[in-house]
Amino acid sequence: MNDSAIGTWGFQSCPDSEVVCGHFNTPEDAARAAGTTAEYEPGDTVAVCRLRPPQAPECFVFAYLLIEHIQSQDEYDCTLGRAWPDATGDQFSALTDRLRKVVGEWIDQNGLRPNWGVWDNQITMTVPGDE
């Protein structure tokens, strides 16, 4: 992903499409550009979106999911695995913080940090007419 593209606006390539086209400075510029395509005419509504970086992958790591996975293994049948004492919220939070740090370091060491953008902040605009 080109960092200079972050924060730019694009338009939905055609109604009901998930494809976003272009990199424009403002949502108005994106809507105006949509009007130059065969899919849109002045007065039509068009969805425009803003490009943002993806969330860090490690933010999706949660300690409770790891513990649930361990407890679901055959070694921990339902009577034994579920009988573990419950961890406190603070304990899960501390483990989650440690896991996220390790996962983030591993991602960086292996060059696996995402290099794409996510189209977000969709708004609906009217395609302007000739001015």
Containing domain of residue 61, as a range? 57-109
Whether residue 82 is predicted with pLDDT greater than 60 in this model: the reply is no
> Residue 94 domain-assigned?
yes
Whether the Cβ atoms of residue 124 and residue 40 lie closer than 8 Å to each other: no
Query: Same domain, yes or no, for 67 and 98?
Result: yes
Does residue 43 fall inside a structural domain?
yes
Could you tell me if 71 and 99 lie in one domain? yes
| pTM to 2 decimal places | 0.70
Residues 49 and 62 placed together within one structural domain of the fold: no
Token output for 117: 């953008």
Structural domains counted in the chain = 2
* Predicted pLDDT of residue 79: 60
Is 76 in a helix, a strand, or coil?
coil
Q: What is the percent of the chain with per-residue pLDDT over 90, rounded to a whole number?
A: 56
In a domain, 23, yes or no: yes
> In this structure, is residue 131 part of a structural domain?
no
Number of other residues whose CB lies within 10 A of the CB of residue 93: 14
Q: How far apart are CA 34 and CA 45, in angstroms?
A: 10
Question: 62 with 103, same domain?
Answer: yes
What are 84-122's pLDDT values in tens digits?
667 788 988 999 999 999 999 999 999 999 988 899 989
Note whether 68 and 103 are same-domain residues: yes
- Which band of pLDDT confidence, cut at 50, 70 and 90, is reported for residue 74? confident
Q: Are residues 65 and 97 in the same domain?
A: yes
8 A C-beta contact, residue 101 and residue 95? no
Asked whether residue 31 is domain-assigned, the answer is yes
* Judgement on whether residues 31 and 64 belong to the same structural domain of the protein: no
Asked if residue 100 and residue 80 are part of one domain, the reply reads yes
Q: Quick count: other Cβ atoms within 10 Å of Cβ 14?
A: 14
